[in-house]
Structure 1
Amino acid sequence: MTACKKDKGTPPNYAKADDVLAAHAIKQQSFTGNADAGFTITGEKGTKVTFAPNAFVDGAGNVVSGTVTVTLKEVLSKKDVLFSGVMTESNGQLLESGGEILVKAQKDGAELQVNPKLQDKGAQVEIPKVMNNGDMGLFIQERRQQGGGASGGNQQESPYTWVPAPYYPFGNGPNSYTFSLPSFSWVNCDRFYSDPNPKTTITALPAFQDNNQVSDLQVMLVFKNIATVITLPFDYTSQKFQSYQNSLPIGLQADLIILGKDSDGFIQFGTQSITIGANMHIDAPVHKATQAEVDAFLATI
């Protein structure tokens, strides 16, 4: 006797969430230099930071000498923003980014600061115009304004946001943005996004295809035609992921992206192309995904 049996094929090689995040994490680059003489570092993506002689001080304000260690993170694409955790919004207002960087300095394990006596001459920065070529200004991170969330502070959101730093000179050259580094912290070449269309609020909920519990959920929008990536914080009042109130221009196109980690450690992943509509709600399918599926989508943004 003989029988036929359907070949189910090789099961998908689903990706672990930690592996996906590690593969796309923003690399921290490390450099050393002589604080007395000054030196220049150049990042892998083209960011250049030039430190003047005696540009570093310790926690007590004393000028530091000898060898110092400088680290650099470059966020120069929408994909970089997506995995940096530092989104392009200012107290709920959309920003267009020309690039973000994080510069830190240490000596013997102790954090250093930019020498304030050098004013705006301590550390000069050039960021290549690979993410955007529009006219930008310098933004720095500060504590979010009270009540800046979508429902009067009932959102699970980052406590920090971007605010303009108009007191620092900023240059829009043909190939790079140039400015003085105000401090060893995140800085951003940014501008407020202007759109004449009416603004609205949208909500979203993941629709899971698996029964496993999912944690570390992130719901984000990557906009199609502008260098803008935002998160939709979870709003405890509506029990939905929700944009900031009346912050999104109707008609703007974006990719909704959901990332999470199930109880087996696999990534839960979903994407959906949307056009912002008035008071729209999105039920977004989310499923276990392979590394190749995630990478293929990321190559399109």
Structure 2
Amino acid sequence: MSSNSIYVAGGIAVLLLFGACTKQLKNDLSDASKEKFSARVAAAAAPDPDGLKLHTFLRANGPAYETYTVDLQKGASFTTKGGRTYIISDNSLVKPDGSPATGTITFSVKEISNAAGMIFADRPTATNTGAPLESFGEFFVSANQGTTPLQLRKDSAIKVQVPAKPVDQRIPMWNGDTSITINTSGYNYVNQLITLSTTISANKGIDWQQVTNPASAYALFDGTNGTLNFRLDSLIKWTNCDRLMSLPNPKTTVLAYFNSNYNPATSTSFSGEEPTMLYFKPTGINSIIKFYNTIFTPPPGFEGFLSYQNAIPVGQSGTFLAISSIGGQFYAEQRTVTISAPAAGQNYTTITFNPVPVSASTLVSLITSMNTK
């Protein structure tokens, strides 16, 4: 789980805004207990109703869990609808008390293999520093025996085979967390400095960190059967098989202005359920970049998002999808562009959006069409 403090220098605008919103709360502790304060911080981070409506809609139309039941007496395997095979040894799973799990086991699997799935599930591909990744699949696996959740035994793993066209011999693996921890500090009623932690969904969708375990750090391509082969060494955690994109061109910062239909609650959304979102798909690459940093204190007509600083290649072609939810109505705009160099004297490039009202079915179609961009 990622951890952030509202006082970290150079922190993203979202966390700075969170600090501004909670400043009065943390300075007003004369007769409040830690529990009451924590509850008030959590309330301040509650999802916006428009954002909740949009994200509920997206999840309902996105990738679904697949369930498989196997018998682990002598090891087992199953193949998902997407053709990915999971191989489990007979001694790889343990119960919460550490005892081995045998017999009938139920696996729940969610796989994301294309740009539309990344948008629906809010699982974009970028490193924790903003570097874009080309994805060969994102995976989430859990295991249960009846109602008992299971874990992988230490030093064990589930082997996965993913059908793939010829690619690099080794593809890096990434683990992802969908939450961040906000640490808020203040003085209590006896003038003692305390720090309270609040866990919220990550506005970036997910925080990818490269796997460090040498045994699981890479997927290896097998040319004899056309598969990428890797190990899942933990359950109930997103895993991504991705390689860093080769982007040699000079980089720029992209500012995306919304001339209309930007929901201002986006700038104070701390639950990962923003009512306005912006995604970018580089042309011909299985990748989605989410613009989640909001423009700080914008004048009217300049609300919107900005990329990481100097992160988007000049000359990169791709398609943006802007989505908003306002008062029960969805808005969207899809635009294919080539990222231009900054104007003379500037250190950023701008793109302007004007999302228009769309039906739910049209929004699904727009998202699905990102697969072919």
TM over 0.5: yes
Deviation at 1:232? 0.4
Q: Is 1:233 aligned to 2:292, yes or no?
A: yes
Gaps of 5+ in 2: 1-52, 183-201, 267-273, 299-303, 343-347
Match of 1:289 in 2: 358
* Cα distance change on mapping 1:60 and 1:105 into 2, 3 Å: same
Moved more, 44-53 or 19-28: 19-28
Moved more, 269-278 or 243-252: 269-278
Pairing partner for 1:258 from 298, 303, 322: 322
Match of 1:100 in 2: 138
Deviation at 1:221? 0.6
Larger helix fraction of residues: 2
Match of 1:157 in 2: 204
Deviation at 1:141? 1.9
Match of 2:40 in 1: none
Deviation at 1:18? 7.0
Considering only aligned residues, what root-mean-square deviation do their CA atoms show, in Å?
A: 3.0
User: How far apart in 2 are the matches of 1:242 and 1:73?
Assistant: 30
Q: In structure 2, the residue corresponding to 1:157 is in which secondary structure? A: coil
User: How far apart in 2 are the matches of 1:293 and 1:156?
Assistant: 25
Q: In structure 1, the residue corresponding to 2:132 is in which secondary structure? A: strand
Match of 1:167 in 2: 214
Q: Is 1:207 aligned to 2:259, yes or no?
A: yes
Pairing partner for 1:32 from 66, 69, 72: 69
Deviation at 1:29? 0.5
Amino-acid identity (%): 22
Deviation at 1:251? 0.8
Deviation at 1:158? 4.4
Q: Deviations over 1:189-221 (max 9, x none)?
A: 111112211111111133336999996211111
* Cα distance change on mapping 1:205 and 1:59 into 2, 3 Å: farther
Q: Deviations over 1:118-138 (max 9, x none)?
A: x35x411011227x8445222
Deviation at 1:96? 1.0
Q: State the number of aligned residues.
A: 273
Gaps of 5+ in 1: 1-15, 147-154
* Cα distance change on mapping 1:212 and 1:227 into 2, 3 Å: closer
Q: Deviations over 1:82-134 (max 9, x none)?
A: 22212111121111111111111122333211111xx35x411011227x844
When normalised by structure 1's length, the TM-score is 0.80
Deviation at 1:19? 8.3
Pairing partner for 2:174 from 134, 139, 145: 139
Q: In the alignment, residue 209 of structure 2 is paired with which amino acid? A: W
Match of 1:180 in 2: 231
Match of 2:47 in 1: none
Q: In structure 2, the residue corresponding to 1:90 is in which secondary structure? A: coil
Q: In structure 2, the residue corresponding to 1:202 is in which secondary structure? A: strand
